[in-house]
Chain A
């Protein structure tokens, strides 16, 4: 892992996980911006919930207490039992909202809070194994130091002395922790052994090499038959094949025409026009067939120079 990691360029977010079955699974780490966005959404949800509940409860309380004068004083408040009970629930609710919101969602089947889900990221174990309850607990217990404390310190900065600045600077280290390591770990991730990765969802694209032109090498529009010889296919490698696949999937006529012309020039053919797609599909299929045949024999050709 460390060898592979050493080769990574700065800012490259691709990592490889090894699942317990021994399958190397490429993952893309969530970028700092995405995670910050997810956090803002989650905090927004928490604040909105607090505000709405507080207003609703205050309204209900004001109705209930309309005819009993409030007496706040030392030794407790003089409140009717119903309101007291509601207050206890309210305090417990605030505590849970603050500390259990992230836990609840990250322990669910989706492994992500609403904010993370909206931004398409989720929590995973760094070692490729199971994401345990303990990991989720650990990574969320540290949120206080990373969010609340630095914010409090920030607000107490105004008119503060050197000590306040020192405290803020020290706490900012926690808040900005993801800035200082390659894996974008926040302090909680570090302690929990987790990281946050992108949860991609891809649809299975149609096979390019099973269409009529691709499979038989015969164009449907012109009836022309494209058969390429071994030398004609040997000029390209896997990199070019994948470029060709991208061009075919995008299906932009200008790009196809340009690639068509380039290949024809390389082959020494006279590039015609109007039948680029059939030509490219046929070339793609036959090139893939050749390269895959080589793969089976243990020979790979990375690109045209290989």
Chain B
């Protein structure tokens, strides 16, 4: 019998104990207890986080033992009434399940998949929302411009003006030009860039997170932020500095506004999935959308790091409009090409 061949390697004492056990379920337990204890030891070591101290053999054995113990649990549920053993097995299978089905990727393999196609794929998958966000941002810009053109007081309503800020209606050509050029001697640009990034990334994450409220807040945030853009363009247009202002904004703005556009679209995507879940339940739809857009958002944070560096360093160091435009639209071309032309599904993808 299989039982005896399993037992042959064990100690005589165990055998005697198994013989002595009256109940079949106790014999079942005694035969398998070794496997359970071994799985428990491996799981306990892994939970302590000392991954380096766990031997390769243990790592290979974990899924095998997990399935063995899981089948022990199924059998025990049908044959044993020992509540303590059942509770132990349930907790052990659960702990092993956490490890076997836990987040298993290393940072590097995740990054490789992320850059190797998952990011661009995730961005492409929300293209309807990207279009909506783009239309909204364009509309916001036009509205900002038109409102200021109709009544300059609107400028003050839209722009938070610090004391000492020279950019306001009525400022002369030279004053405005001074705000666009000639800042390359500034010290502390790196700090400025880091601060900008931290601020912008916070806003982008917020924009995404608020999408949860059925997508309305990201819409408003997109419009509100771009009315400011329209107002600034109007201001510089009035003094014949449109192209210079566009260059000043574009060098980082193409990356930054694109990132904000994407995060708004991601928020919108969640909101849309919840408002119109289709055949799935609202919870399932929200979860699917959330996981898809999480990848998008990780990318947005990265884009904002780059935008922060371009704004803090590039804009101050590159001091003429053609070069600024070249950098800005070069970046835009790069992003567009990466997102929409780079179609590749990385191997070992975790998500569906």
Taking the complex as formed, is B5 at the interface, i.e. its CB lies under 8 A from any CB of chain A? no
Contacts of A207 in B (CB 8 A): 21, 26, 29-30, 82, 85
Contact B102 A133 (CB under 8 A): no
**Of B70, B194, B198, which contacts A21 at CB under 8 A?**
B70
Question: Is A265 interfacial (CB 8 A cutoff)?
Answer: no
Q: How far is the CA of A85 from the CA of B191 in the complex (A)?
A: 8
Q: Which residue of A lies closest to B106 (CB)?
A: A107
B93, CB-defined interface residue at 8 Å: yes
Instruction: Identify B88's interface contact among A75, A95, A106, A204, CB under 8 A.
Output: A204
Instruction: Identify the closest chain A residue to B288 (Cβ).
Output: A193
User: Does B173 count as interface, using CB distance less than 8 angstroms?
Assistant: no
Measured CA separation A131–B95 after assembly (Å): 14
Interface residues in B202-219 (C-beta closer than 8 Å to A): 202, 205-206, 208-210, 212-213
Q: Mark B1-38, 1 if CB is under 8 A from A, else 0.
A: 00000000000000001001111111001100100110
With an 8 A cutoff between CB atoms, is B292 at the interface? yes
Summarize A's interface: helix, strand, loop or mixed. helix
Chain B residues, Cβ within 8 Å of A143: 209
A76 and B208 form a contact (CB under 8 A): no
> Contacts A19-B70, A74-B164, A111-B102 given: A292-B291 contact, CB under 8 Å?
no
B307 located at the interface, meaning its Cβ lies under 8 Å from any Cβ of chain A in the complex: no
Taken together as a complex, chains A and B put the C-alpha atoms of A209 and B27 apart, in Å, by 11
Among the listed A91, A92, A191, A202, which residue makes an inter-chain contact with B290, where contact means beta carbons less than 8 Å apart?
Answer: A191
A53 within 8 A of B: no
Contact A144/B82 with A292-B24, A292-B25 known, Cβ cut-off 8 Å: no
Q: Is the CB of A215 within 8 A of B350?
A: no
CB-based contact B297/A141 at 8 Å: yes
Tell me whether B221 is interfacial, beta carbon within 8 Å.
Answer: no
Q: Which has the most chain B C-beta neighbours within 10 Å: A190, A199, A203?
A: A190
Cross-chain contact of A296 among B36, B67, B79, B88 (Cβ < 8 A):
B79
Number of A-B contacts (CB under 8 A): 236
B82 lies within 8 A of A131 (CB): no
Q: From residue 45 to 62 of chain B, which have CB atoms closer than 8 A to chain A? A: 46-47, 49, 51
Chain B hits for A138, CB < 8 A = 290-291, 293-294
Residues of A within 8 A of B104 (CB): 130
Chain A, residues 60-89, CB within 8 Å of chain B (1/0): the string is 000000000000001111110000110110
Q: Are A109 and B51 in contact (CB under 8 A)?
A: yes
| A278 within 8 A of partner (CB) | no
Q: Could you tell me if B25 and A288 are in contact, using CB atoms closer than 8 angstroms?
A: yes
Answer yes or no: B136 CB below 8 A from chain A CBs.
no
> Which residues of chain B have C-beta atoms less than 8 A from A144's C-beta?
202, 205-206, 209
The closest CB in chain B to the CB of A173 belongs to B213
Residues of A within 8 A of B73 (CB): 23
Task: Please measure, in the bound complex, the distance between the C-alpha atom of A71 and the C-alpha atom of B48, giving whole angstroms.
Answer: 50
For residue A289, give the distance in angstroms from its CB to the closest CB of chain B.
Answer: 5
Complex CA gap A79/B190 in Å reads: 11
Residue A78 contacts which of B29, B187, B212, B351 (CB distance < 8 angstroms)? B187
Give the Cβ gap from B351 to chain A, nearest Cβ, in Å. 6
Is residue B84 within 8 Å, beta carbon to beta carbon, of the partner chain? Answer: yes
Q: Which residues of A contact B213 (CB under 8 A)?
A: 170
Residue-wise interface mask of A (88-120) relative to B, using a CB-CB cutoff of 8 A (1 in contact, 0 not)? 100110110001000000111111000000000
| Chain A residues positioned under 8 Å from B208 (CB to CB) | 141
A219-227, A238-246, A253-261 - the one binding chain B: A238-246
User: Cβ of A192 and Cβ of B291 under 8 Å apart?
Assistant: yes
Residue of B nearest to A87 (CB): B191
Question: Is B132 interfacial (CB 8 A cutoff)?
Answer: no
In the complex, what residue of chain B is closest to A291 when comparing beta carbons? Answer: B81
Give 1 or 0 for each of B161-194: 1 = CB within 8 Å of chain A CB. 0001000000000000000000100111111111
A149 at the interface (CB under 8 A from B): yes
Residues of A within 8 Å of B47, CB to CB, are 109-110
Tell me the bound Cα distance from A196 to B135 in angstroms: 39
* Cα(A228)–Cα(B292), bound, Å: 63
CB of A35 within 8 Å of the partner chain: no
Are A21's CB and B85's CB within 8 A?
Answer: no
Q: Tell me, in angstroms, the Cα distance from A142 to B87 when the chains sit together.
A: 35
Q: Which of A42-50, A121-129, A266-274 contacts B (4 or more CB under 8 A)?
A: A121-129
User: Quick check: A134 and B295 within 8 Å, CB to CB?
Assistant: yes
B275 contacts A by Cβ under 8 Å: no
Q: Does B90 have its Cβ within 8 Å of any Cβ on chain A?
A: yes
- Nearest CB on B from A75, distance (A): 5
Interface residue? B249 (CB, 8 A): no
Q: Cβ of B202: which chain A residues have Cβ within 8 Å of it?
A: 144
CB of B283 within 8 Å of the partner chain: yes
Partner of B78, one of A201, A288, A295: A295
A132 contacts partner chain B, Cβ-Cβ < 8 Å? yes
The contact string, 1 if C-beta is below 8 Å from chain A, for chain B 262-273, is: 000000001000
- Chain B residues near A176: list those with CB within 8 A: none
Tell me whether A142 and B212 are in contact in the complex, defined as CB-CB below 8 angstroms, given that A191-B286, A245-B82 are known contacts.
yes
- Residues on A with C-beta less than 8 A from B88 are 202-205
Report B-chain residues with C-beta under 8 Å of the C-beta of A27: 94
In Å, the complex CA distance between A237 and B129 comes to 60
Judge whether A134 and B292 touch: CB under 8 Å: yes
Asked if B97 is an interface residue, CB under 8 A from chain A, the answer is yes
> What are the residues of chain B within 8 A of A285 when measuring CB–CB?
22-23
Known: A25-B93, A137-B294, A285-B22. 14 other contacts (CB 8 A): A20-B101, A78-B188, A79-B188, A88-B194, A99-B201, A125-B101, A134-B291, A187-B212, A193-B287, A209-B82, A245-B82, A288-B82, A295-B78, A296-B24
| 9 shortest interchain CB distances as A-B pairs | A193-B287, A191-B290, A76-B188, A138-B294, A137-B294, A138-B290, A205-B84, A145-B209, A134-B291
List 28 A-B residue pairs with CB atoms under 8 Å apart, sorted by A's residue number. A19-B97, A19-B101, A76-B192, A84-B191, A88-B193, A88-B194, A91-B195, A91-B197, A92-B198, A108-B49, A109-B49, A109-B51, A110-B47, A137-B294, A137-B295, A137-B298, A143-B209, A144-B209, A170-B213, A208-B84, A209-B26, A210-B17, A214-B22, A249-B84, A285-B22, A288-B81, A292-B81, A295-B81
